[in-house]
């Protein structure tokens, strides 16, 4: 079970992904290329607030998402 702050982070990440039209698989590939340790299933579980991820992994996911959003054309 996630603590309140981690659950909020997971919801915010999922919301930002949805707004940007970035599917979990795309985020995972980019996060993994940045040396992320969680596998794709763990990412999905985290997004549904069913799995705890260490703080460093959560920060890497946020960073990966920001990079994907910033690299989009337009």
Q: What global pTM score does this model have?
A: 0.92
Q: Where are the domains of the chain?
A: 4-70
* CA 64 from centroid of its chain's CA atoms: 7
Compute the residue count for the chain: 74
CA dihedral 69, 32, 3, 15 (to 10 degrees): 20
pLDDT digits (tens, 9 = 90+) for 21-73: 999 999 999 999 999 999 999 999 999 999 999 999 999 999 999 999 999 87
Cα–Cα dist 55/28, whole Å = 16
């Amino acid at each position: 079970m996630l603590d309140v702050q981690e659950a909020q982070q997971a919801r915010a990440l999922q919301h930002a992904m949805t707004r940007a039209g970035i599917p979990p698989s795309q985020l995972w590939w980019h996060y993994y290329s940045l040396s992320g340790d969680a596998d794709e299933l763990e990412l999905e579980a985290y997004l549904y607030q069913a799995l705890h991820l260490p703080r460093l992994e959560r920060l890497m996911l946020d960073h990966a998402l920001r990079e994907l959003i910033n690299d989009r054309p337009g």
